[in-house]
Structure 1
Amino acid sequence: MSTSTKLQVTPTAIHDVLVIEPKVFGDERGWFTESFNAQDFAVATGLSVNFVQDNHSFSRQWTLRGLHYQLEHTQGKLVRVVAGSVFDVAVDIRQNSPTYGKWVGIELSAQNHRQLWIPAGLAHGFLVLSETAEFLYKTTDYYHPQSEACLAWNDPTIGIEWPLPQGIAPNMNAKDSAGLAWDAAPKF
């Protein structure tokens, strides 16, 4: 675990997927946090990143988005939730990685202010736990639909333990519902 004056950084089971916890300053008026500062991020993580695109999504409860990745113009992502809560997942699809085929999941919420750094070469998705959620993410490369791929959210080889209540099916679009099985999905 690394701590700077403004960020706490905790590695996950996939060593380069990092939980980022910015300092939150509160008083009787509310709170303030610096959600991103390139210098503090570099000091705390040892990474120098250049974000080129910000994305913002709104989703209803039990919506599952993902598991997405791009084969070209691969994207590192810094993700966070500004309203509601989600279960956020990253899957290592880098064949030369010691954690190839492994996944990590963490709850991100407006209350806990956590962020997740997901390096390029991982598939990413999330499940909305609250009634609604607003999800923000910064990317290190632009969206490139021609090289986008989707890994099946429920592939038994990966075995993600999504926190879906018994009898609830996730709300998904056609693209995500047609995600590729682990054996058929292209890897890095």
Structure 2
Amino acid sequence: MATVGLKNLYYATLSSDTSSGVTYGTPVKIAGAVSVDMNPSVNFATLYGDDAPFAADSSMSEITVTVESCDLKLEDQAALLGHTVNSTTKQLEAKASDTAPYVALMFEAKKHNGNTRYVKLLKGKFAPTQETMQTKGESVTYTTPKLEGRFVAREYDGAWKRVADSDNTESATLIAGWYSAVEPS
């Protein structure tokens, strides 16, 4: 299904992922979603027998996700990258020893038929990426913050993504609480 647009980009910290369950923090909105690019890494293999393709299989390893927004507050950068914001000076402090937490991402896109597709990516880590800043010349060129991360399947259930469409009436209750929690209660 073709989509147009992107909005309501949220993240939630993954507190626990074990074979018995998962726990997430409260979802936090990132203002001004520009783009989310998901690129699953899939390995294909073909078994040949009797001089012809006999069987085919694939396995997925990781999903590269790039997120771009109009603004990424220092508090959000700290939460997503494992940095800290100094409580006195309010400046971001990034250390080489910082470790990014696992997070979930949630967002929505308008479908070409006027309904909405809702997406949750369930377990991933972001890393610092290249930052570009440019002087203003004869024309204005915006540079927007981007984060790149790697998403994987959860230990709990092997899931890596959830998708719901608003034109599926059975999903109405689920969609109503889409941004209040990663997992429905």
* TM-score computed with the length of structure 1 as normaliser: 0.24
From the two aligned structures, give the one with the greater strand fraction. 2
Larger radius of gyration: 2
